[in-house]
A and B are shown apart, each in its own frame.
Chain A
Amino acid sequence: QVQLQESGPGLVKPSETLSLTCAVSGYSISSEYYWGWIRQSPGKGLEWIGHIYHSGSTYYNPSLKSRLTISLDTSKNQFSLKLSSVTAADTAVYSCARGILTGYYLASYFDYWGQGTLVTVSS
């Protein structure tokens, strides 16, 4: 059974960097899947943040690309998200998920998700 669990600070100050980790169990992230981040806020609904291939190739939402880094830590079987220069608009529930390879560049849907973690940006 594949399980994903997000962790990280629930409160981040404006202009600082939001950092989250997704621990994966039941499957090796070194194998053939994407590993992605999605966020959900009342104002914007669900928003794809980006995902990373097991090889380390990354695919980012253009609206967040300049502030975003997604990386893998295969030794710990986890992957991470860093979003810099956050504002209140980045307040959301952040979820990690496993993305299916479809054979099309970047194209992925998600078959396993974490429960999500609320991150509030506030001073």
Chain B
Amino acid sequence: EIVLTQSPGTLSLSPGERATLSCRASQSVSSNLLAWYQQKPGQAPRLLIYGASSRATGIPDRFSGSGSGTDFTLTISRLEPEDFAVYFCQQYGSSPLTFGGGTKVEIK
């Protein structure tokens, strides 16, 4: 099973700042099959990125994904007030599908 470790656990930033979230895999993620989601309290997760770097439909271009192999990054170029949430990654390159523990982006 591929274990995904996300860091940091919490990121304290101000609106307008850049957020860089890390997702590290215990082994290489096949074909870079990695997705990122955003979740706000009481809401369903929202798909942001798939295939490590492809934005899902309707996702603003301030969200970008990068990386390959075992190291992946989600970058939010300029934080908007609605971006403060929990973000988690998911690999779907091998069974079982697994998720990271999440990074909370909070207002500083």
* Interface set of A (CB-CB < 8 Å, partner B): 38, 45-48, 59, 61-63, 95, 100, 102, 104, 106-116
Contacts and interface: CB of A to CB of B under 8 A. Distances in A.
Interface string B37-61: 1000011110100100000100000
Which residue among B42, B97, B102 has the maximum number of chain A CB atoms within 10 Å of its CB? B97
B84 interface: no
A107 B93 contact: yes
Contacts of B30: 104, 107
Contacts of A47: 99
A104 B93 CA distance: 8
Contacts, number: 63
A106 B50 contact: no
A112 B47 CA distance: 8
Given A47-B99, A48-B96, A48-B99, A109 B44 contact: no
A100 B50 contact: yes
B99 A110 contact: no
Given A45-B100, A109-B47, A115-B44, 17 more contacts: A45-B99, A45-B101, A48-B98, A61-B96, A62-B95, A95-B45, A100-B50, A104-B30, A104-B31, A104-B93, A106-B95, A106-B97, A107-B33, A107-B92, A107-B97, A110-B35, A116-B44
